[in-house]
Structure 1
Amino acid sequence: MHRLFTQPIRITDEVIDTNGHTNNLAYLAWMQEIAMAHAAACGWTLERHAQEGTSWFIRSHFIEYLRPAMAGDDLVLATWVAGFAARSSPRRYLFWRPHDQRVIAKAETLWVYVQAATGRPLRVPASVQNAFEVIEDEEEVMQTLVVEFSQP
């Protein structure tokens, strides 16, 4: 079980927008990629969902951009499951720059558990809930990032 899941991101010229910083669509793509990687690491691959006849749909995204990320920046993207409701689960994200220990952006996605064939919401089964350890406190995430990724 991976309580907090992280991946490094190097900001490249390809994701820079006309304002000279990282395009918001890049953040969304990274959020989806890391959510899927985290789920797979916890045993819920796309193949397993297909076998179960289930999937997750996104109901909403919220992103708060705190600082710009520029070409050449090295970031750490962290994600975690923040809880479970009957048919949904909020997942949170932090885009963090280790070199100055600054949060670049915070985000949350509300994922809805559905029957794949119909898109109809389903109850999130215990087998899914038990695969993920919930982190409710963002401060715990920040402490982990500082300890694991701070550069001397």
Structure 2
Amino acid sequence: MDWDLPTPFVIDIDVERSSIDHYGHVNNAEYLRWVERASWAHSRALGLTLEDYRALNRGMVVHRHELDYLAPAFEGDRLQLSTWIVSCDGRLSLERRFQLRHVETSRTLLRAHTRFVCIDMESCRPKRMPPCFAEVYGGACVTADR
């Protein structure tokens, strides 16, 4: 696959009937669920789990999502969703980019961008990232040329 950025983290998606809306294609909310799934899978692969978040009383929560729907997906389609961390300030925020591609045609169906902020999980207020967040997420950053 020709990805927008180098060294993506990729998850495979097989479109199931439950993802299809009354228009006969994947519902737009499903794409957002896939973006969340890719984010968590990538964090786990980097060594940060929900259990780590809880132990540190810190979490990375969505501040803003931008999703550009470029083409529809249908039941039975095989897709790949890639993600990259494109910025991490080491203090409060990080940004991810996403690209969803159809496996057989290589067509890009979606591009997305999400900004996360670090919070204290008890108060739900912004709070500085623990050093391990800054190290892990900052170390995973790639350059966003597009």
Q: TM-score range by the shorter chain?
A: 0.7 to 0.9
CA distance in 2, matches of 1:66, 1:48: 35
Which letter does structure 2 place at the counterpart of 1:31?
V
Gaps of 5+ in 1: 140-152
Alignment deviations for residues 11-68 of structure 1 (CA, whole Å, 9 cap, x no partner)? 1111111111110111111111111111111111011111111111111111000011
- TM-score normalised to structure 2 length: 0.86
1:90 aligns with 2:83: no
- Single out whichever of 3-12 and 87-96 deviates more from structure 2: 3-12
Q: What's the RMSD between the two structures over aligned residues?
A: 1.5
Aligned twin of 1:110: 115
How many angstroms apart in 2 are the aligned matches of 1:125 and 1:103? 35
**Residue 127, structure 1, aligned to residue 132, structure 2:** yes
Answer yes or no: is 1:49 the counterpart of 2:53: yes
Output the CA distance in 1 between the equivalents of 2:85 and 2:10: 13
- Contact 2:56–2:130 (CA under 8 A) maintained in structure 1: no
- SS of the equivalent of 2:88 reads coil
Gaps of 5+ in 2: 1-6
Distance of 2:64 and 2:16 partners within structure 1? 27
Deviation string 1:58-84 (CA, Å, 9 cap, x unpaired) is 111110000111111100011111101
> What's the % identity of the aligned pairs?
29
The Cα of 1:137 is off from its aligned counterpart by 2.9
Give runs of aligned pairs for residues 1-150 of structure 1, distance below 5 A: 4-85=8-89, 86-132=91-137, 133-137=140-144
State the AA in 2 paired with 1:93. F
Aligned residues: 137
Tell me the SS of whatever aligns to 1:130: helix
Large movers: runs of 4+ above 6 Å: none
TM superposition shift of 1:109: 1.2
